[in-house]
A and B are shown apart, each in its own frame.
Chain A
Amino acid sequence: MIREKRGDIVDDDTCLVSAARKGDQAAFESMVERHQARMFTLVYRILGDYDDAAEVTQDAFVAAWRALGTFRGDSLFSTWLTRIAVNLSRNRLHQTRTRSSKEAFSMDEPFTGCEDNRCFEPPSHGPSVQEMLEKEEIRERVRGCINGLEPGFREALVLRDVQEYSYAEIGAILGLGAGTVKSRISRARDGIRGCLKRALGDI
């Protein structure tokens, strides 16, 4: 599904990219709108910090605009953009490594349903409060487990399980061989599995 969706985006990108390369800011704005959620999610999953993710996503788009002239269309625009975003995220992680390690998810900390003084309010219909809390608890644990991974493994996992890139595409984006990509994804997933089992008792 998503892959198909990505395919559609690609076709439209070709026209927008060529317009943007000629300096058409409106065309580039359309591209930003189209890719921003995907890029933001990628960056947020890698960095684990909302504000940092917003900043780095902006930087990635601005960097892409500057470098549009060097984009030759060998790869998809989305792949090219992803590479920029991953590199900038990596730089940011490097800068704030100490901070992120301090804020890393703690397995001992029980999920209360409230975060930063914001509590999750259940909708009037749909899943029950209990279900909502459970679901959100699991999501929070998963996010925490992802943040606990080493950056190299985290990037591979996010590109595969969040962005749904093929192993070959991941290899191209990260500049890694097929074997390394395979082993990184495998070990990252194994790490998350162990982490979730410890946190939730059962998956």
Chain B
Amino acid sequence: MDHAGIREMLSAYLDGEVTPGERSLIEEHLKTCPECGNALRELRRTVEHIRELGEETPPPWLTRRVMARIQEEAAREKGLKRRFLPLRRRLPLQAAALVFLSVTVYMVYRTVSPEMKIAVPPVAEMRDGAARTMPSAPPPREEELSRPVPVAKVPEKQTGAPLSPKGRSPAPAPRPAPAAALPEAPDRDEQTPRIAPPPSPAPIAGQENASPRVYRERRGVDMSREVEDHGKEEKDSSVPAMRTKAAAPALREEMRVLLVVDDARGAYREIGRIAGLCGGEAVRWEVGDRGGVARVRVERGRLGEFLALLGEVGETTKKTPLPSGGSGAVDVTITVETGRRTDG
């Protein structure tokens, strides 16, 4: 073995970490090689120097600090354990908390839910008197729908006088019902006269004649106001925004459309959406699964657009012709029916 090989083994040889074969090889070589003998001597001396460094003295506080940290940790762990109760005690507590929470949520829901329902505009509208008439009296409605149109023109001639101030003068009497027997909905008829007389401007009020006015009101225009006023009578202020808007005194024409669809509920949603698209608003809403009536107020200029979109919702039949010329809003009463196709 050459010097390099022997030198590499000298360190291990010094530690007795060589095999007996290697040991005898090294020792044989050392006998004849003073250089390697010198290298071994220096190596041994180096190791001695290192060992002479001895043990260092650690800082006197070392043990104390180690134990302080350990105690601190143990205390923290204990605290954590106390904070997290064992499962057998934690489970019943959690179960009780869950039950309590569920009951609370249910109670809150029960208390609040009616208000939530009221807050939905269409449903709120439906609560008005007309809703009652719809399912129970379909034949009269048919009759009414088929009534000739000219009525729609009437208010245009006599407008201003009776109608404009009416919104500001709610009918004082409760609901004695003079029974101005119109075929449609008895309930509504009952109210119309109450609401109708709007004799606010003094001179005009004097000229008033009850029966024609009732007729005008009913036929001509302002069914919505009837609804509104009725609402006022009942002191129901749940849909203030719509009421206020609708109460604006203006002459409106009316047209009627029969809409046959498969899904009445879906149709109402669509009508609402379309009305919104055309800048209109829902003024009356009587909904049912099988059909109902929706009244939408649309600006005359956008009426064509509205009717076109309505045609996409279902099969439409115009029961009254389009109002001619003029400006202002038109109340479109849409009778929604399901399940059967119109005969014309």
Q: Which residues of A contact B (CB under 8 A)?
A: 23, 25, 28-29, 32-33, 36-41, 44-45, 53-54, 57-58, 61-62, 65-66, 138-139, 142-143, 146, 157, 160-162, 166-167, 182-183, 185-186, 189-190, 192-193, 196-197, 203
Contacts and interface: CB of A to CB of B under 8 A. Distances in A.
A41 B59 CA distance: 11
Contacts of B59: 54
Nearest to A191: B46
A38 B58 CA distance: 9
B90 interface: no
Contacts of B324: none
A65 B70 contact: yes
A162 B50 CA distance: 7
B2 interface: no
7 residue pairs, one from A and one from B, having the closest CB atoms: A186-B11, A40-B58, A161-B50, A61-B66, A193-B46, A41-B56, A203-B45
A37 B58 contact: yes
A21 B261 CA distance: 80
Contacts of A37: 55-58
B91 interface: no
Nearest to A33: B63
A57 B58 CA distance: 9
Q: Is chain B's binding surface mostly helix, strand, loop or mixed?
A: helix
A62 B69 contact: yes
Contacts of B204: none
Given A37-B56, A139-B49, 13 more contacts: A25-B67, A41-B55, A45-B53, A54-B59, A62-B66, A138-B52, A142-B50, A162-B53, A167-B17, A190-B11, A192-B46, A196-B46, A203-B42
Contacts of A29: 63, 67
Given A139-B53, A161-B50, A162-B53, A197 B66 contact: no
Interface of B: 8-12, 15, 17, 42-43, 45-47, 49-53, 55-59, 62-63, 65-67, 69-71, 73-74
Contacts of B17: 166-167, 182
Contacts of B65: 58
Contacts of A25: 67, 70-71, 74
A7 B57 CA distance: 22
B8 A28 contact: no
9 contacts: A36-B58, A37-B56, A53-B56, A58-B65, A139-B53, A167-B12, A182-B17, A203-B46, A203-B49
A44 B58 CA distance: 9
A15 B63 CA distance: 19
A65 B43 CA distance: 39
A142 B70 CA distance: 36
A39 B58 CA distance: 9
A203 B40 CA distance: 12
A190 B57 CA distance: 28
A36 B57 CA distance: 9
Given A41-B56, A182-B11, A203-B42, A62 B49 contact: no
A156 to B, nearest CB: 11
B46 A162 contact: no
Contacts of B63: 29, 32-33, 36
A39 B56 CA distance: 9
A197 B39 CA distance: 12
Nearest to B50: A161
Contacts of B8: 183, 186
A161 B71 CA distance: 35
A161 B66 contact: no
A192 B50 contact: yes
A90 B150 CA distance: 101
Contacts of A65: 66, 70, 73
B43 A54 contact: no
Contact of A146 (B11, B50, B62, B66): B50
Nearest to B39: A193
A190 B43 CA distance: 7
